[in-house]
Structure 1
């Protein structure tokens, strides 16, 4: 579909009508111990990508991408540190070229900043993406210590991906729901993902 940007996961893109509308901000919410990073790696192979890390060092992220079992690209990785993470991230966002990806990992650091300044950051981000036709993914850790800005992220995001990992007695299942999808139709069903050598749809059995 015209105006859609691929996520890199073929079957998911098909379910989303060709991908995610250009200019969108996506909130990817997943447990810290999940393999959600593989989704980010797949995305980095679709087009030029700036990977902003607010946790691990540039070297650690680059090594993770380089050794990833997923089909990963070669993103530009920048480590944001210091007392002004919003300002430093905003500077990188302002230099994003046309039709490129932005990954922020994790968004939690920004979500703990002043609420008004964080809201302004998200508005500026969406304005830049709209002007350049890009795509941003904010990787939000759904752990025990959820930042106060998480509701703001989910409210202002155009698309919300909720990835939940279920550990059974002999299996691990990753279930993706898309409860919010501006510019399209949210998925009515749960998508089971295989986060292994490549991110794929798990069709082994129905979800109970």
Structure 2
């Protein structure tokens, strides 16, 4: 079995047999109004992390990480939004150290480039992650305007985490589906999660 890197989220590591295979690209999809950022913040606690933001400013991300009560690390946060985000992201990814974590939040802005350029970016990213033995997490929004190249991201990704949020009169329910896991085992059932101050498994029983 390929060497595993802990996500830093204990409940998730238990479900995926110890962590993510070194060199993996992970696509984390979620609705814009979900608490999916908690995943990203907790991922920074385990290893040296480069956090690239394409929508929020680097200061906004840093402030949010400092305010959260969940366990975090001290990531290097860089704003690659604005002009030429793909080129800026490429330059920074080339500086990744060994066994580090890369987070791109959100990948949507890069997915809007023409297909050939974006495909080249993904292939180069894959090479960097294999050579450094780290993990890249691409955060994609499942909103009303999903980029055309999301299918390409999902195909190249080694692991797909699909966070599904349902809001009812009684509660906000989050389920994590893992339909794809190269180098490991995809889960046959979703994981019910509580996303409040941290990422935890929801042990409350479903009511039929």
Do the two structures share a fold, i.e. TM-score over 0.5? yes
Match of 1:106 in 2: 106
Preserved CA contact (<8 Å) 1:70 1:196: no
Match of 1:140 in 2: 140
Match of 1:67 in 2: 67
Paired residues for 1:1-208 under 5 Å: 3-206=3-206
- Report the RMSD for the aligned CA atoms in angstroms: 1.2
Stretch moving more, 40-49 or 74-83 = 74-83
Could you list the per-position Cα deviations for residues 117-172 of structure 1 after superposition, in whole angstroms to 9, with x for gaps in the alignment?
Answer: 10110110010000110000000000000001100000100000000111111111
Change (3 A) 1:116 1:207: farther
Q: How many residues in Structure 1 have an aligned counterpart in Structure 2?
A: 208
- Runs of 5+ unmatched residues, structure 1: none
Change (3 A) 1:187 1:207: farther
Misfit runs of 4+, over 6 Å: none
- Runs of 5+ unmatched residues, structure 2: none
Change (3 A) 1:159 1:207: farther
Q: SS at 1:123's partner residue?
A: helix
Change (3 A) 1:207 1:127: farther
